[in-house]
């Protein structure tokens, strides 16, 4: 059984994240979208809310599930009996941080490989941060996030 963990803040999940999930689901027997409870990042949505949004959005993908974690990623990956971590790469700007993270995780546990996936080109400009900014200003985010996330943004931001 090939299991991959796709970790992130998912604050909130976007169509770019979903694109990566769908690609990973074709390569692995099981994909766990792992919501980082997170820390100092001051997320807009609570971990429970982020987790619910992911669960709803991946409901149609039989080999994908949502989970939440905190603490060291490599320990979570090992506990899940997974060998691969999936991360998305949008542009060169993502590379440096992702490279550092992947090599650090390898130092911590050399059995774990990080797999990078590029989203569909139309999603390369998309980030949770920009989606929140547009939504906060009352802009239409329907092209960028699944319908359940759009509803959650409206409710949270009262727009």
Q: Which are the catalytic amino acids?
A: 17, 41, 90, 128
* Cis preceding-peptide flag for 12 (omega within 30 of 0): yes
Q: How far apart are CA 139 and CA 159, in angstroms?
A: 9
- Selected from 4, 5, 9, 69, the binder of ligand ADP by CB under 6 A is 9
Lookup: tokens for 116: 């990078």
Q: For 49, which DSSP code?
A: H
In the bound complex, what is the minimum distance in angstroms from residue 79's beta carbon to ligand ADP?
A: 19
Please report, for residues 6, 125, 130, 140, the alpha-carbon distance to residue 121 in angstroms, rounded to integers and kept in the order given: 20, 8, 17, 20
50 contributes a contact to ligand ADP by CB under 6 A: no
Over the window 95 to 134, marking each residue x when it contacts ligand ADP by CB under 6 A and - when it does not, the resulting string is: ------------------------x---x--xxx------
Binding interface with ligand ADP (CB under 6 A): 8-10, 14, 16-17, 20, 87-88, 90, 94, 119, 123, 126-128
């Amino acid at each position: 059984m090939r299991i991959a963990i796709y970790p992130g803040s998912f604050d909130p999940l976007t169509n770019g994240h979903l694109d990566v999930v769908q690609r990973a689901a074709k390569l692995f027997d099981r994909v766990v979208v792992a919501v980082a409870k997170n820390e100092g990042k001051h997320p807009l949505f609570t971990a429970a809310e982020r987790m619910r949004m992911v669960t709803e959005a991946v409901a149609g993908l039989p080999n994908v599930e949502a989970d939440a974690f905190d603490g060291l990623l490599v320990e979570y990956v090992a506990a899940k009996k997974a060998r691969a971590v999936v991360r998305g790469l949008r542009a060169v700007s993502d590379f440096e941080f992702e490279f550092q993270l992947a090599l650090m995780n390898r130092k911590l546990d050399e059995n774990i490989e990080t797999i990078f996936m590029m989203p569909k080109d139309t999603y390369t400009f998309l980030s949770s941060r920009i989606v929140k900014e547009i939504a906060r200003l009352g802009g239409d985010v329907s092209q960028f996030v699944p319908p359940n996330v759009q509803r959650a943004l409206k409710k949270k931001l009262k727009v």
